[in-house]
Structure formats: C-alpha cells, structure tokens
Amino acid sequence: MDDLDNKCASLRTEIAATEVQLAKLKRELKAAEESASKCRTTNAPEPVPSEAQTKRKWPLLDEEYRRYGRQMIVPQVGLRGQLKLRAAKVLIVGAGGLGCPAALYLAGAGVGTLGLVDGDTVESSNLHRQVLHKSRNVGKFKVDSAIEYLKELNPHPTYIAHRSHLAPQEAAEILRKYDLILDCTDNPATRYLISDTAVLLGKPLVSASALRTEGQLMVLNNPPRPPGDKTGGPCYRCVFPRPPPANSITSCADGGILGPVVGAMGVLQALEAIKVLTHDAEVNGPTPPTLLIFSAYSSPQFRTIKLRSRRPNCAVCSAEATVTLDSVRSGSMDYVFFCGTAGLEDALSPDERITPLEYHLNHSTTANRHILDVREKVQFDICSLENSINIPISHILALAPSAPLTGVDDLKPLPSWLPPEIAADSESPIYVVCRQGNDSQTAVRRLKNLGLDRGGERLIVDIKGGLRSWREQVDSEWPDY
C-alpha cells in the first residue's frame, strides 16, 4: 500500500510540474498565433512586438519566484544571480557519486541547461552513494536515470544526455556548448583531457575527487584566459604536472568509498559552480585558487591550501604550451599513455597465471600448498577462501624490494610480513589471489624478486581475475561486494 501511495504522490508531483510547463507553452503559443493573425490580416511584414508582448512585467515566472525565493534573498545571489543561473549552461562529466549530488543541487538551483556525460549503466553497487539512481533503473544509462529524477525535481531546466564516455575526438565539440564544466570522473586520463580541453576553449572547471573517507576540490582555469595569459587561473596540469604512477591508483571498487564523503564533495562542486556563475568579478575581483582537502575522520575535517598561479612551463596554459585542440582531437596527445594506465593485464606471463576453475579442480585439495590473499584485511574479513592467509598488498609494498635470495642463509632478511611457514617451506607452491587479479600480479612479482621461487623451481602464480572470476567460474554464491 505504501508503494502505491508513493507512486501516486510521485505522479501528482510530475503532473503538477508538467502543467506548469504546459501553461508556459500555451502562453507562448497564444502570443505567436496573435502575431501571425495580424500579419495575415494586414498582408504586411510581421510587426515588431511591443515590450509587453515579448516579455512579462517580471523576468521570472510566478512559479520560479516561489521555487527560488529562498535562494534569491541571499545577498550573494539576488535576482541578478538567479537570472545568471537560468541563462547558464553547465556540463557535468560523470553521473556517479560526484555527479549525482552536483546535478541535484544545480538543477534545484535553477541552472538553465544541464548536460550530463556518462557511458555507464546503473549497477546495484552504485546505489549507496549515487543518489539520483533508483533500484528499478539498474541497467539503464546513468544519464537517463539521472535526468529522469532531475525532471521530477525541477522541470524548468533543459537536460541534455550524452550517452558515452568522453573521448578526445569529441571532447571539444561537447564542451564548446557549455559555460562551465564539472569534472566528476574517477580516472587521471579523463581528468587531464577535461582540463586541457577546458583551458583551450576558455571554460572554467570545477574538479573534485573522493576515495574511502577523503576528498579534494579545486576550481581551475578561473578566470579563464588564453594560454600564455598569466592572469588566468591554474589548470589541472599546473597542480599535477605529472600523473601519479599507474600502480598507485586505487579506484572506489578496490579502495572503497563512504557515500556521504563523495556526496559532500559533489555538493561542494555544485556550490562552487553557483559561486562561479553568479560571481561579479568587476565588483569583487578574482577568486584566489585553492585546494580544499576533506578528511571525514580528521579534526578539523577541512583544510585549505593556497595554489600558485599558472606554471610558466605548463604544457597547456603557458606561453610554451604544446597541447592544442588539434593534438587532443587527433590523438597525438595520448592521455592513456601519458598516465601509464595501459598494459596492466600483461604484468605476468601466461605461465605465471592460473584460472580460478583450474585451481579449484586441480589444486584446491592439495595438502602442501599456500594460498595468499593480498586484499586489505577489511575485505578479507568479508569473505575468504578456505585455508588462505591474508597479507595485505599495502604491507607487501611498504618495504623496498629486496635483492633476490641466493641461499638458505638469506632467509633471515626476509620481510616481516612473510609468514614463517612460507619462509621455512621452500617446496610448496604459492597461489596468490586478490579481488580482481591486479594486486595479485604485483605480489607474485615481489615474491619472485625475493627469490622464493628458487630460480623457477618453485611454483608461484596468481589466480587470474581474482575473486570476481572465482564467483563467475566456481562459486556463484560468493559475495559480490
């Protein structure tokens, strides 16, 4: 019964919003028909409408005054700011944990045009943090799911769906149509692509990120100035001239994310976007660039770091710029190669890997064997293979690689994270598993660098595809977290 009541309430809300939009269209149609009738009657060119015919006495609709009233009486916004918001076109790249709350508040604030870019579909694992999506929309494009919700919230804005991931070949054509860009993505290659394109097109950019319990926020290329103009705001390359090492990047799928953390960063993105769109630089001057750092379990939770101006040798916004729209569009600026994210699946050779099914059928019951689970302990506690030993990959990578072992006496300097039963056993094979088959490859390489494979005489392999593939090939009831 509650579901039916909720559905009825939702339909009433949608009908009311549609009626508002329909009334607006009827007024516009009536005015157009009257003008057309006069033209036909007099057989003369269409007369120039009077001011009373072209606009209302007040610049907003009655319903808009009621909807945005609490916002317009804030001194920093006012009617002038509200009109700026209604005229603005904002592009949100990524309809996930950051993009959902950002879109929610920008639509609620009355931004005139909202574009959303995302090629992913809704998954149930998204729902704890991506607040625009519903359980019934699992499998639907995220941009369509988000826009469905936003239209119920506010029917006045124009919503534009871009149902694909942002690619270098089309980035400029998409970003060119908007006034402000929000980077709500989760990988370095796309971040550099968005920032470079925004600078080259003269668009300010609000960039945020979140992982586990921490987040970061920056407003970049603000004010937007051509490359070489030192008065422009710094870009993403100015703050991070080089991308982080590929093997140091942790995604939300691997590292986890607390919903309110990414939600807070998305809301702050919307706030900064509103500030950029309504800011009067002539009156208030430029806003100094800063990096906002949020940590949910720290005190204080927020810290602000002042950013420097544009780097004099920046590859995109300095007078020595080498990145151009042509180089981005043509692919000669290869962002995947620049960020070093290619080739992860080839870290080990085929004979150093084993499928979950092969391990289960041929090796899982062998008495003399060791299976190492290199997930972090919090994941190991959720579920684990029988008789597996947990050695978190963070422990394995904490110490510098040791020189390969050359003899029995060399067992003494083995790292403290290596269990004694493995250190003392030089014969039994070692099988390494992780969640998706990436960290396990790194661990196998580290174990071999320690000389535990005895020059290839001892088998050390990883379980290909990790526990995600274990679920697909061996145990369909394995927790899919």
Binding-site residues from annotation for ATP = 97, 118, 125-129, 142, 186-187
Active site (annotated) includes residue 434: yes
SS3 103: helix
Distance between CA 147 and CA 114 in Å, rounded? 9
Q: What's the distance, CA 215 to chain centroid?
A: 12
Is 252 noted as a catalytic residue in this protein?
Answer: yes
What residues contact residue 68 under an 8 Å CB cut-off, 6+ apart? 60, 82, 109, 110
Quote the CA–CA distance of 352 and 440 in Å, as a whole number: 11
How far is it between the farthest Cα atoms of the chain? 108
Q: How many helices (H) and strands (E) does the chain have?
A: 20, 13
424: its two tokens? 């003392």
DSSP assignments along 425-469, one per residue: -SSS-EEEE-SSSSHHHHHHHHHHHTTTTTTTTS-EEEETTHHHH
Cα angle 197, 201, 206 (rounded to 5 degrees) comes to 65
Which of 100, 184, 339, 434 is catalytic? The answer is 434
Distances 88 to 112, 348, 355 between C-alpha atoms, Å: 5, 50, 52
Assigned token pair, 217? 């926020």
- 305 with 290: CB under 8 angstroms? yes
Helix (H) or strand (E) holding 180: strand 180-183
d(CA 126, CA 393): 25
Please give the annotated binding residues for Zn(2+), written as ranges: 235, 238, 314, 317
Binding residues: 97, 118, 125-129, 142, 186-187, 235, 238, 314, 317
* CB 144 within 8 Å of CB 120: no
Q: What tokens appear for 230 in the block?
A: 């030192």
Q: Which helix (H) or strand (E) element contains residue 205?
A: strand 205-211
- Using CA atoms, how far residue 49 sits from 24, 39, 44, 46, in Å, is 18, 12, 14, 9
CB atoms within 10 A of CB 181: 27
Write the DSSP assignment of 329-346 as a string of letters: HHT-S-HHHHHT-S-GGG
Residue of 39, 252, 339, 383 marked catalytic = 252
Structure tokens at 67: 């909807």
Residue 423, token pair as written in the block:
């250190």
Pure H helices in 88-141: 99-109
Query: What is the rounded distance in angstroms from the CA atom of residue 317 to the CA atom of residue 238?
Result: 8
Instruction: Please identify every residue annotated as catalytic.
Output: 252, 434
